[in-house]
């Protein structure tokens, strides 16, 4: 059986999108982010005084900004997980509250 143009295109697309290619894409993206962070840290080495709820410290500016960014990301993650759990609970309750539909193959006497 001869393959048409659509089948050839599908085969080519399947070969291009593999788990290995996705892994390599992730590795390259991670390396790019790591290089950008390294440049950021090297360029922002001056010390910054941090005062927070009576705690006083002095950190390199890059470290302080990265800690603040990670803390903000964690807060967003926690809020997102809480919302996802809430939606899951609501969907689960609605699914259990729905009446069972009669089976079309069952005989009713």
Q: Is 101 left (phi over 0), alpha (psi -120 to 50) or beta?
A: beta
Whether the predicted pLDDT of 85 surpasses 90: yes
Confidence class of residue 74 from pLDDT cuts 50, 70 and 90?
Answer: very high
- Please state the pTM of the whole predicted model: 0.55
| Contact yes or no for 64/48 (Cβ under 8 A) | yes
Taking the C-alpha atoms of residue 10 and residue 3, their distance in angstroms, rounded to an integer, is 10
pLDDT tens for 16-42 read 778 888 888 889 999 999 899 888 888
Taking the C-alpha atoms of residue 39 and residue 69, their distance in angstroms, rounded to an integer, is 16
Give me the pLDDT at residue 100, please: 63
């Amino acid at each position: 059986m001869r393959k048409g143009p659509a089948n050839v295109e599908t085969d080519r697309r399947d070969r291009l999108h593999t788990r290995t290619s996705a892994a390599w894409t992730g590795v390259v993206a991670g390396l790019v982010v790591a290089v950008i962070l390294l440049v950021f840290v090297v360029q922002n080495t001056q010390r910054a005084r941090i005062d927070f709820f009576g705690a006083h410290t002095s950190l390199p500016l890059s470290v302080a900004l990265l800690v603040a960014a990670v803390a903000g990301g964690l807060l967003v993650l926690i809020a997102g997980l809480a919302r996802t759990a809430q939606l899951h609970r609501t969907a689960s309750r609605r699914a259990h509250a729905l009446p069972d539909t009669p089976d079309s193959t069952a005989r009713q006497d």
